Amino acid sequence: MLLRLLAAFALGALAACGFAPLDLWPIAFACLIGLFVLLDRARTLRGALIVGWCFGLGHFCIGLNWIATAFTYQAAMPAWLGWIAVFLLSLYLAVYPALATGGAWLIARRRPAALVAGFAGTWVIGELLRASVFTGFAWNPLGVVWLSAALPIARTATMIGTYGLSGLLVLAAGGLWLLIRRDWRAGGAALLPVLLAFVVGLVPATPLPGPQPLLHVVQPNINQAEKWDEAAETTNFARIVRLTGKPGPTARLILWPEVAIPWFLEDDSAARAAIAGLLGPHDLLLTGGEAFQFDAAGNPVTATNSVFGLTPDARLHGRYDKAHLVPYGEYLPMRPLLSRLGLSRLAPGDMDFLPGPGPRDIVLPGLGPVGVQICYEIIFSGHVVDAAHRPLFLFNPSNDAWFGRWGPPQHLAQARLRAIEEGLPIVRATPTGISAVIAADGRLISALPWRQAGAIETRLPPSFSPTLFARGRNVLPFGLAVILALAGLATARRNAKRD
């Protein structure tokens, strides 16, 4: 039993290599096949649950290693605590793969064909729960592996979303496992939806006519230690000014990263005027910043992580407040208890951020509505667009400087899936990378490498008509999960009658 659990842990750890930055997707497929082998050999529900939990533990301990890097920027807590945090978080997140393996075992009762369909369905449900419970942590759903494989199957996210893609990945691995077992009929049946998704993904979408402004995306390469150093404020802003460049004859939409400026634009007319002076007469700016709320005595009591639109006349046009805040990064959960234990936020400052109301557009004069999702928000499939007011594109300013080496490319990959799901281009601006312009079909139009200063200047790619997923959202992958689970249950019952 111990060897089986160690094997499950190792398979989960290796499966994490299928994501960016390694993109070793064949290993991820092979590890899922190995998980089917272990799950098929589980004699009890308890055994199936433990196998799934060990797989998840290994998977998240490796895939989320970038979280440990964040602790190296917080002097109030020792750096080694970061690895403890990764392990403790993985202990919790592993519950969801365990629920998936346990549910699949109950459906299939050790009947291989039923196990494949059932497990694909329960895995989708597990990821939907992981993205929702306790504010959710949707990082690295299995469906991202299709992007690593560079297969057109990823584009079927327009219909079934990212979590549906995860179900297809499990179905593909299960089909291959059945073929290895020489169960040709069941294996072919499992792979048929995957082949259909491959064909559907080859069909191109038709771009919509619309504004295609000249984008100017700035990546100043300001690391986390410099970003919050008050002595470096002038130098940091000078980098941004230099990379913003001089106004030219063509109007630009300039995009700066998350909290790119240290000033409070709503309360500082001089700062607004100074920034507006960088713009040409027809330029527009979207920049990350902070907004404060004050008590009656004029003392700041809370803040929001925000994005502002600014025009050359130094007027603000709209403000978006980040709604899905990062626990421990932007607020400290259970503050009275945890602060007594010596824990604090990973970002500097003791004031917790206040969440915004959810997806809202910033309407820029002469251009139209722009959707905004700040940093971590972009990972939440089905929750990134105001359905009543579809924007021209999504702006995803972020600060990935404290995400280590693995975090930025994983973040980018998940943003690409949001573009596919919604049929909207996405523009990312980050201090240290990876800044990018992403087409509505998920292709990278342009990107700046990690830890390299620079600017992207390119036209906004066109958007597509609202996708099926944009209309139905996560009801669609949930429906797919129910169909797969019922198919597994029906197969199990049919095989039971034959037995």
Residue whose entry in the numeric block shows the structure tokens 């491959």: 198
Active-site hit among 322, 330, 421, 422: 322
Contact, 295 vs 301, CB < 8 A?
yes
* DSSP-H helix ranges across 219-268: 224-227, 233-244
Contact, 221 vs 260, CB < 8 A?
no
Amino acid at 293: Q
Residue whose entry in the numeric block shows the structure tokens 């992403």: 438
Active-site hit among 290, 375, 421, 422: 375
3-state SS of the chain: helix, strand, coil percent to 5?
50, 15, 35
Give dist(CA 112, CA 227) in Å, integer: 54
Nearest Cα neighbor of 327 from 59, 75, 88 is 88
Q: Is 375 a residue of the active site?
A: yes
Q: Which long-range contacts (CB under 8 A, 24 or more apart) does 348-355 make?
A: 348/228, 351/300, 351/301, 351/302, 351/303, 352/302, 353/302, 353/303, 353/304, 353/305, 353/322, 353/325, 354/293, 354/302, 354/303, 354/304, 354/321, 355/304, 355/321, 355/322, 355/323, 355/324, 355/325
Q: Is 54 a residue of the active site?
A: no
For the chain, how many residues are written? 499
- H-helix or E-strand spanning residue 430: none
Residue whose entry in the numeric block shows the structure tokens 């573009």: 419
Give dist(CA 443, CA 385) in Å, integer: 19
Q: Is 246 a residue of the active site?
A: no
Active-site hit among 127, 226, 258, 421: 258
Distances (CA, A) of 387 to 89, 208, 219: 32, 18, 30
Contact, 317 vs 295, CB < 8 A?
no
Give dist(CA 425, CA 467) in Å, integer: 13
Bridge partners (DSSP) of residue 300 are: 294
Relative orientation angle of helices 112-130 and 475-498, to the nearest 10 degrees = 160
Contact, 380 vs 324, CB < 8 A?
yes
Nearest Cα neighbor of 66 from 324, 309, 329 is 329
Distances (CA, A) of 80 to 57, 70, 75, 89: 19, 11, 12, 15
Q: Give the catalytic positions in this structure.
A: 258, 322, 375
